[in-house]
Amino acid sequence: MAKTRTNTLYVCSHCGAKSHKWVGQCSSCDSWNTLDLVTTPVGSPTLPGDVVAPARLAEVVTKASERYQTGLSELDRVLGGGIVPGSVVLLGGEPGIGKSTLALQALGRLSSHHETLYVSAEESLEQLALRYQRLGLKSQELTALCDGQLENLIAELDKKLYGVLVIDSIQTLRTQGLESSPGSVGQVRECADRLVIEAKRRGIAIILIGHVTKDGALAGPKTLEHLVDTVLYFEGDTSSRFRLVRAWKNRFGSVNEVGVFAMEANGLKAVKNPSAIFLSGTETESSGTAIFVSQDGSRPMLVEVQALVDQSSLGNPRRLSVGYETHRLNMLLAILHRHAGISLLDQDVFVNVAGGLRVLETGADLAVAAAIISSFSNRAIDRRTVFFGELELSGEVRPVPRGEGRVAESAKLGFSRLVIPAANKLESRKVVEGLSVVSLRSAAELNEVVREQRDQA
């Protein structure tokens, strides 16, 4: 039997850089001990008949892309309206967050209209059947295959024309062409590459479930994210029942879109009004609480920001933030000290975003600063007040995008007072009708608004 010729390279698991010899530090991203040995079979040379000729884009005949509706409205929103045939979606998230549950629910609904296959190398058929029954799926057509061999999967695809395929997970799949173990850089990249080719050639929509590292990034080579069409991250605190699905890459829709789910006993349920669940619901006014209207993709959501400022007994006061970037918190404290005359050098400062959410945009600066001032001065903020705006290092308040959408969402949920940047021009009179609008230009003005609000109430 002829011996298979192979190529040997060292590939960085962090950035995907290649090297012909092993080194301790990657020359591209400066990461240590991230170069892994990758052995790939040498392919046969391309035959003349296989060469694809270039074509003029103006002459290419295009057709409207059909989308498969998963039946989960929040997932369809993040995907841009549904799954595109022939596309490859990478779904990543922490262990136990609900990736397999979400994929099985979506596949169960799709199976009533399309041929579907759930491939798992982590669970047995009995385990999948138990989850199928627990989720209360009605479809009788959902099929599963418990095998981690890529060649066996491709042989199954040759037997039957499938429409949607789920791989749980890409780190457990292996190919006979490589001697390395499943989950290695070479195996993950080779299997993903073969699956992308099969998806495009056969028109199959494939969902790859991926593991994440301790840093929260997708495990495996960085090129895995470049191979696929869509990258989704499944986020949430395991102690909370709420989960978020974010799109970080999408060739068929907008990025940074977000879908909200609630984990119930019988699976994940789409949340139609996320603003209602991320607010505490209490009418009691207490110091250190402010309401912020965020903008995730095309969706505005109201979020409660909480702050606690207390006298510190330590030489180095603590700065702790949950759901809001700690470095930005330190920056806000410096801005308040320099431009608003609020010194918190001897105070412990704790900030929390209610509901287990993570606020990624700078438009939360005004709400966080208002909550800190409220806690420090022990003056409660009116529960009908909403904040949004970004603070500059100079102390000025910068405008944020999509101001009218944020205002409209606030008015819809019954809020009556807005504290916004003066530079945010609200063109439509209807969005501010019946609302009290306070326009700010500096952090010093925010301090005055919070301090005087209680007296006005």
Residue-wise pLDDT tens for the chain (457 aa)? 445 555 677 877 777 777 878 888 888 778 888 777 776 555 544 444 456 688 888 888 777 678 999 989 999 989 988 999 999 999 998 888 899 999 999 999 999 889 999 999 889 999 999 999 999 888 888 999 999 999 999 999 999 999 999 999 899 999 988 888 888 888 888 899 999 999 999 999 999 999 887 666 676 667 788 899 999 998 877 777 888 898 889 998 888 788 889 888 889 998 887 777 777 655 667 889 999 998 877 778 899 999 999 999 888 999 999 989 999 999 999 999 999 999 999 999 999 998 777 888 899 999 999 999 999 999 999 888 999 999 999 999 999 988 888 888 888 888 888 999 998 877 665 666 778 888 999 999 998 888 775 554 4
Q: Which residue has the tokens 């057709």?
A: 63
* Under 8 Å between Cβ of 351 and 305: yes
Confidence (pLDDT) at 20: 78
CA angle 17, 88, 241 (to 5 degrees): 100
**Out of 1.20.1560.10, 3.30.230.10, 3.50.50.60, 3.40.50.10440, which CATH number does the structure's domain 277-456 have?**
3.30.230.10
The third-level CATH classification (topology) of the domain covering 67-272 is Rossmann fold (3.40.50)
Nearby residues of 295 by Cβ (< 8 Å), 6 or more positions away = 301, 361, 363, 400, 401, 402, 405, 406
Query: Rounded to 5 degrees, what are φ and ψ at 73?
Result: -60, -35
With beta carbons less than 8 A apart as the criterion, state whether 374 and 290 touch.
yes
What pLDDT sits at residue 428?
Answer: 60
Q: What angle do CA 220, 223, 229 make, to 5 degrees?
A: 110
Note the pLDDT of residue 45. Answer: 43
